[in-house]
Structure 1
Amino acid sequence: MSQAGRDPGLTGRQPGAVHGALSVLEEVARVGPGVTAQQISAALGLPRATTYRLLNLLVQDEYLVRLPDLAGFALGRKVALLAGLAVQATPEGVHDILLEVRRRVRGGVHLASYREGVLELVDVDPDFPLSDERRLLSDLTSSALGRLLLAERRGAPVPYVAVPNGPMPGHGCFAAAIRDPHGALVAGLALALPTQRLGDPEALLELTAADRPRLATALC
């Protein structure tokens, strides 16, 4: 190809960088959440400086997320988008169950999946839209759904998380764990409610007790 016909935005080094980035993503997917830069460098035979540079770029572009306390890395929301998780149709039966919950709760009811250790929204309540979906997906500390997943990653699973003060004044969020028959966390059921209704999270857990096993069956 002549110099005039060459794409000025593509250099000889870039294909190697792309391959390196894909290799890093594959290694994080293989090992799972919490893999460290040192482990990735050793497994791929990459110099540490190169590994850190690739990790920082992938985190910046949301293909990876850095776990709290710099405890390692996990796949980010864009990987799930590429895999088609975000555009899947709601599994049969799930939406009907959520309609029942919404009639009973009288508040926002959202469902998120934790497939492959990544938070992805499955069904968002159209009557109670999320205030900041991008932040919810990229910053797991910002929501009850995200904190539920973080607790699981840290090896300290919890049945629910309540966040009484959300981005909307006077409102917060409660998220209950949905587990498969083997106890693995597969999804989270979130209730967006006025702060005063979050004062008794055990009652909210009981309110959704019959729905969560049904959702687990429909999702699995």
Structure 2
Amino acid sequence: MTAADLAHEARPPEKGLGLALEVLEQVARHPQGATAAEIARAVGAPRATVYRVVNSLVRDEYLVRRPDLTGFLLGARVLELAAVVDAHRRPDYSGVLDALRAETGEAVHLFAFRDGGVAILDEDPRSPISDRAALLGDPTRSAVGHLWLVGRPDDDTRGTRWRVRAQPADVEAIAEAYAIRGYTEQAALLAPDRGCLAVPISNDHHEPIGAVSLATPVSRLSVAARHVARLRGAAASLSSTAL
């Protein structure tokens, strides 16, 4: 067997690894999930081949199926690798979030407000967001979405990244509740057993630029309100941070 023959035999594993990395990259580019057909079109590989690679990645926990089985999301092993990388280049707000998570014992997430919607800046690795697609698609289904609406009550959400447009009556009710509480909350709108509350992060001009959100089982949501003061303290610390 010639050296050329040996080199030719060595190619399939490299191609397989390269395709697996391409599949992971495509899924990473679609935080709401990508179907196998969409991945196959993006990487230019036969659908049957992509299905085999995707199933292998699911088996090894590099990918997970969406709860509604319509596509695939990054799995635990990829998120663990990302956490290792992030640990070497942690942003300025990491210390504030670490302390808040330790003090409350609850899941804490950090968001930035954009003109088109909200961006997830720091998701608690111990307790990931229940339904990212719903949170990023419908502002009425999360406490952080409620805060975004309160800060932009006159916006026409059809021109944003939100898939669902908030109705005026819903925005009015959310704003009234926020005026009373000074924070927003939702129960069982993203997951039947989870709820969350959120406080805004404002800049020097008192404009909302983001939010700190605390997620907890619905049964503990009212009790979790005791952490609001801690959330506000963290939000104040983050007010001068570039989100």
Structure 2 partner of 1:51: 50
1:53 offset after TM fit, Å? Answer: 1.1
The unaligned stretches of length 5 or more in structure 2 are 112-118, 144-184
Deviation string 1:92-140 (CA, Å, 9 cap, x unpaired) is 465457657866xxx523435688799552xxxxxxxxxxx5xx5xxxx
Structure 1 partner of 2:22: 23
Q: Distance in 2 between matches of 1:178 and 1:60?
A: 39
Q: 1:75 to 1:180 in 2, by over 3 A?
A: farther
Structure 2 partner of 1:125: none
Q: Which has the larger radius of gyration?
A: 2
Q: 1:162 to 1:183 in 2, by over 3 A?
A: same
Q: Distance in 2 between matches of 1:74 and 1:184?
A: 28
**TM-score normalised over the length of structure 2:** 0.51
Q: Distance in 1 between matches of 2:55 and 2:216?
A: 34
How does 1:182-193 map onto structure 2 within 5 Å?
188-190=213-215
1:87 equivalent in alignment to 2:87: yes
Q: 1:51 to 1:93 in 2, by over 3 A?
A: closer
How does 1:188-207 map onto structure 2 within 5 Å?
188-190=213-215, 195=219, 198=220, 200=222, 203=225, 206-207=228-229
Q: 1:68 is paired with a residue of what secondary structure?
A: coil
The unaligned stretches of length 5 or more in structure 1 are 122-132, 137-144, 164-171
Structure 2 partner of 1:158: 142
- Corresponding letter in the other structure for 1:149: R
Q: Distance in 2 between matches of 1:118 and 1:92?
A: 12
Q: Distance in 2 between matches of 1:186 and 1:45?
A: 40
Structure 1 partner of 2:41: 42
Q: Distance in 1 between matches of 2:73 and 2:199?
A: 21
Structure 1 partner of 2:167: none
- Corresponding letter in the other structure for 2:214: L
Q: 1:151 is paired with a residue of what secondary structure?
A: helix
**TM-score normalised over the length of structure 1:** 0.56
From 190, 194, 197, the counterpart of 1:176: 197
Q: Distance in 2 between matches of 1:11 and 1:186?
A: 51
For the 8 Å contact 1:80–1:120, the answer to whether it is kept is: no
Q: Distance in 2 between matches of 1:146 and 1:72?
A: 17
1:109 equivalent in alignment to 2:131: no
Q: Distance in 1 between matches of 2:121 and 2:66?
A: 12
